[in-house]
Amino acid sequence: MVLESRTMTEATKTYLTAAVGHTMGRGELQDKLEGIGCAVYEDEPIEDLVEAFVDSVGAGDLDFPLEYSTALSMPHHIKMLWYDI
């Protein structure tokens, strides 16, 4: 499933926030964000990094798999969020 910025609904943001927070650590988030030119500070909370990553996915600068097969590997509460998108 390809995400275009005009289709980034609140449900998609909610799912991405939960999925990214579950699957990616601070180091990976920092590397990906810095790779597209975002400044990341050491004292910045991981929640802010997740939000920046999700916004970057919505802008088309970064990718995150939105396929059903990816959602199946998530914990139940995150997988259920996928059904809303």
- pLDDT tens sequence across 18-49: 999 999 999 999 999 999 999 999 999 999 99
Contact 49, 29 (CB under 8 A): yes
Q: How many domains does the chain have?
A: 1
Domain that holds residue 20: 5-82
* CA pair distance 72, 80, nearest whole angstrom: 9
The pLDDT-based confidence of 85 (bands split at 50, 70, 90) is confident
Residue among 14, 46, 54 at smallest CA distance from 30 = 46
Residue 73 has phi, psi (to 5 degrees) of -85, -5
- State yes or no: pLDDT of 15 exceeds 90: yes
pTM of the entire predicted model: 0.89
* CA pair distance 78, 66, nearest whole angstrom: 12
Tokens of 24: 């990616």
